[in-house]
Amino acid sequence: MPFLHDLRDFDGKKKPPFHLHLKGPALTWFNTLSERSKESWNAIEVLLEEKFTNFKNHIAMAMMEGQIFNTLKLGKSQQLEDFHSQILEKGKLLHKPDHEVLARFIEGLPEKMAFFVRAGQPSDLSAALTSAKMAETCGYREIFENAVSSSPTEQSEISNLKSQISSLTSAINQIST
């Protein structure tokens, strides 16, 4: 029995069973293609490669997402639920295990809030969010907000990170061309 990739293009057998091998986002992608795009195997193959195997910018994006994940902090006026969602989204995008997502959530909290959450020994991210809400109710967040000031060293660190991202992006672009 021939496999899909073994079939020749001109025999017309490659295109019909193709969608049967797809699942999840790939199947959704295939179903959204126009009928004209599905007319020839070559067109499908080109579109498939563009969508799922074009890794020129994927490495840079993954590095940037990883850096963002590792530096996320709760903003002064940011809702805890929003911060929780950001951490969860980046963690899923980077395929981080639950314990790393939990640790990153706690590390991103203000110092006294983080201490309060750690003291409760949360078993998962949901429990940590509940503890953080209790800490906020107890006033630990206000103490942090009054103490926050943007120091020049923090600004220079941010500028340094931006320049590193820029140089990495240009290096990757040079490699890919």
Nearest alpha-carbon partner for 159 in 171, 167, 169, 170? 167
Three-state DSSP class for 64?
A: helix
Query: Where does the pLDDT of residue 131 fall: very low under 50, low under 70, confident under 90, or very high at 90 and above?
Result: very high
**Per-residue model confidence (pLDDT) at position 3:** 43
Place of tokens 């067109």: 43
What is the per-residue pLDDT for 38? Answer: 78
> So what's the pLDDT on residue 122?
94
Share of the chain above pLDDT 90, in %: 32
pTM of full prediction above 0.95? no
Q: Is the pLDDT of residue 101 over 90?
A: yes
Average pLDDT over residues 138-147: 63
Q: What is the mean pLDDT of the chain?
A: 80
What does the alpha-carbon distance between residue 25 and residue 48 come to, in Å, rounded to a whole number? 12
Per-residue confidence (pLDDT) for residue 2, from 0 to 100? 43
Using CA atoms, how far apart are residues 69 and 105, in angstroms rounded to an integer?
Answer: 10
pLDDT surpasses 70 at 105: yes
pLDDT digits (tens, 9 = 90+) for 35-80: 888 777 778 888 887 777 766 666 777 788 889 999 999 988 899 9
Mean pLDDT of 13-35: 76
pLDDT at residue 24, as a whole number? 79
pLDDT of residue 124: 94
The pLDDT assigned to 11 comes to: 47
Tell whether the torsion through CA atoms of 92, 97, 103 and 107 is positive or negative. Answer: negative
Geometric angle at alpha carbon 29, from 28 and 30, rounded to 5°: 90
Better-scored residue on pLDDT, 104 or 77? 104
Q: Which of 41-45, 112-116, 146-150 has the highest mean pLDDT?
A: 112-116
Contacts made by residues 18-25, CB under 8 angstroms, sequence distance 24+: 18/44
Query: Alpha-carbon distance 143 to 112, whole Å?
Result: 8
Cα three-residue angle 73-78-83, rounded to 5 degrees: 55
Provide the residue ranges of all domains of the chain, joining segments of one domain with +: 6-52, 58-176
- The residue with tokens 């809030």 is 113
